[in-house]
């Protein structure tokens, strides 16, 4: 849980990202063992939003903006961490689709 050091948060913009690694992009993992592009591009923003949600809910309406990309590719749910047939481009585009496809709770509190 994030310690509460402020009394309001009206807008959260998740803009962290890591690219494909180019044509020589190799599979990397986060310290927690997740495929690195998925961890940075999707899981990090998801976790930060979940941790800040109690503070955001104190002041409605609140907005969460996830900065994504036009580059998106269907997610292989049988191999989300891309342990087989790794491609940096595929890892990047799958993580970007995950970023816009998931909702964290109700986003419109009008």
Q: Report phi then psi at 93, rounded to 5.
A: -70, -35
pLDDT of residue 74: 86
Q: How many CA atoms lie within 13 A of 77 on its CB side?
A: 1
- Out of 2-11, 55-64, 96-105, the most confident range is 55-64
Cis status of the peptide bond prior to 61, with omega within 30 of 0: yes
pTM comes to 0.80
CA-to-CA distance for 96 and 57, rounded, in angstroms? 26
Q: Which two tokens stand for residue 81?
A: 């961490």
For the CA atoms of the chain, what is the radius of gyration? 15
- If residue 14 lies in a helix (H) or strand (E), which one and from where to where? strand 11-14
Residue 92 among the catalytic residues: yes
Residue 17 has pLDDT above 50, yes or no: yes
The residue from 34, 73, 86, 92 that is catalytic is 92
Helix (H, G, I), strand (E, B) or coil at 13: strand
Mean local confidence (pLDDT), 29-37: 95
CA 81 to chain centre: 14
């Amino acid at each position: 849980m994030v310690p509460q050091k402020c009394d309001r948060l009206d807008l959260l913009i998740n803009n962290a990202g890591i690219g494909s690694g180019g044509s020589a992009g190799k599979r990397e993992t986060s310290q927690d063992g997740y495929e690195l592009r998925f961890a940075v591009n999707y899981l990090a923003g998801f976790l930060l939003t979940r941790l800040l949600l109690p503070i955001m809910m104190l002041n409605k309406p609140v907005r969460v903006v996830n900065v994504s990309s036009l580059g998106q590719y269907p997610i292989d749910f049988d191999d989300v961490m891309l342990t087989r047939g790794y491609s940096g481009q595929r890892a990047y585009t799958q993580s970007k689709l995950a970023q816009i496809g998931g909702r964290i709770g109700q986003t419109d509190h009008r």
